[in-house]
Structure 1
Protein backbone atom coordinates (compact mmCIF):
# COMPACT_ATOMS: atom_id res chain seq x y z
CA UNK A 1 0.00 0.00 0.00
CA UNK A 2 2.95 2.32 -0.61
CA UNK A 3 1.80 4.41 -3.56
CA UNK A 4 -1.90 3.58 -3.61
CA UNK A 5 -4.27 6.51 -3.13
CA UNK A 6 -6.53 5.74 -0.16
CA UNK A 7 -9.63 6.74 -2.13
CA UNK A 8 -9.18 3.71 -4.41
CA UNK A 9 -9.35 1.17 -1.60
CA UNK A 10 -12.62 -0.79 -1.32
CA UNK A 11 -12.74 -0.41 2.46
CA UNK A 12 -12.43 3.38 2.14
CA UNK A 13 -15.20 3.46 -0.45
CA UNK A 14 -17.39 1.50 1.97
CA UNK A 15 -16.57 3.95 4.76
CA UNK A 16 -17.62 6.86 2.52
CA UNK A 17 -21.06 5.29 2.11
CA UNK A 18 -21.38 4.46 5.81
CA UNK A 19 -20.41 7.96 6.87
CA UNK A 20 -22.89 9.50 4.42
CA UNK A 21 -25.68 7.28 5.76
CA UNK A 22 -24.79 8.44 9.28
CA UNK A 23 -25.08 12.10 8.32
CA UNK A 24 -21.46 13.09 7.78
CA UNK A 25 -20.82 15.83 5.24
CA UNK A 26 -18.52 15.60 2.25
CA UNK A 27 -15.77 17.75 3.75
CA UNK A 28 -15.92 15.97 7.10
CA UNK A 29 -15.72 12.57 5.41
CA UNK A 30 -12.76 13.70 3.30
CA UNK A 31 -10.94 15.07 6.35
CA UNK A 32 -11.51 11.96 8.48
CA UNK A 33 -10.52 9.51 5.73
CA UNK A 34 -7.66 11.74 4.50
CA UNK A 35 -8.87 11.82 0.90
CA UNK A 36 -10.07 14.64 -1.33
CA UNK A 37 -13.66 15.94 -1.19
CA UNK A 38 -13.82 15.33 -4.94
CA UNK A 39 -13.24 11.61 -4.38
CA UNK A 40 -16.00 11.51 -1.76
CA UNK A 41 -18.45 13.28 -4.07
CA UNK A 42 -17.54 11.07 -7.02
CA UNK A 43 -18.10 7.91 -4.98
CA UNK A 44 -21.44 9.13 -3.63
CA UNK A 45 -22.66 10.06 -7.13
CA UNK A 46 -22.03 6.46 -8.25
CA UNK A 47 -24.49 5.26 -5.57
CA UNK A 48 -27.36 7.67 -6.28
CA UNK A 49 -30.06 6.27 -8.58
CA UNK A 50 -30.77 8.56 -11.53
Structure 2
Protein backbone atom coordinates (compact mmCIF):
# COMPACT_ATOMS: atom_id res chain seq x y z
CA UNK A 1 0.00 0.00 0.00
CA UNK A 2 2.83 2.54 0.55
CA UNK A 3 3.71 2.36 -3.15
CA UNK A 4 0.06 3.01 -4.05
CA UNK A 5 0.03 6.07 -1.78
CA UNK A 6 3.14 7.36 -3.55
CA UNK A 7 1.53 6.75 -6.94
CA UNK A 8 -1.53 8.74 -5.85
CA UNK A 9 0.66 11.71 -4.94
CA UNK A 10 2.66 11.51 -8.18
CA UNK A 11 -0.49 11.23 -10.28
CA UNK A 12 -2.09 14.17 -8.49
CA UNK A 13 0.97 16.32 -9.11
CA UNK A 14 0.76 15.38 -12.78
CA UNK A 15 -2.86 16.50 -13.00
CA UNK A 16 -4.75 13.20 -12.89
CA UNK A 17 -8.29 13.28 -11.57
CA UNK A 18 -9.56 11.23 -8.65
CA UNK A 19 -11.61 8.89 -10.85
CA UNK A 20 -8.69 8.39 -13.25
CA UNK A 21 -6.38 7.51 -10.38
CA UNK A 22 -8.91 5.10 -8.91
CA UNK A 23 -9.41 3.34 -12.24
CA UNK A 24 -5.69 3.03 -13.02
CA UNK A 25 -4.73 1.90 -9.51
CA UNK A 26 -7.84 -0.31 -9.20
CA UNK A 27 -8.92 1.22 -5.89
CA UNK A 28 -11.96 3.14 -4.71
CA UNK A 29 -12.26 6.84 -5.54
CA UNK A 30 -13.00 7.32 -1.83
CA UNK A 31 -9.60 5.83 -1.00
CA UNK A 32 -7.90 8.23 -3.42
CA UNK A 33 -9.79 11.19 -1.98
CA UNK A 34 -8.98 10.27 1.62
CA UNK A 35 -5.28 9.86 0.82
CA UNK A 36 -5.17 13.21 -0.97
CA UNK A 37 -6.98 14.83 1.92
CA UNK A 38 -4.34 13.48 4.34
CA UNK A 39 -1.52 14.75 2.13
CA UNK A 40 -3.02 18.11 1.14
CA UNK A 41 -0.64 20.28 3.25
CA UNK A 42 2.37 18.52 1.72
CA UNK A 43 0.95 18.91 -1.79
CA UNK A 44 0.28 22.60 -1.36
CA UNK A 45 3.85 23.19 -0.17
CA UNK A 46 5.36 21.33 -3.11
CA UNK A 47 3.21 23.09 -5.73
CA UNK A 48 3.63 26.57 -4.28
CA UNK A 49 7.26 26.62 -5.48
CA UNK A 50 6.29 26.38 -9.15
Measure, in 1, the Cα distance between the counterparts of 2:40 and 2:21: 17
State the partner residue of 1:23: 15
Give TM-score scaled by structure 2 length. 0.79
- 1:43 matched to 2:35? The reply is yes
Structure with greater proportional helix content: 2
**RMSD of aligned Cα (Å):** 0.5
Aligned pairs, how many? 41
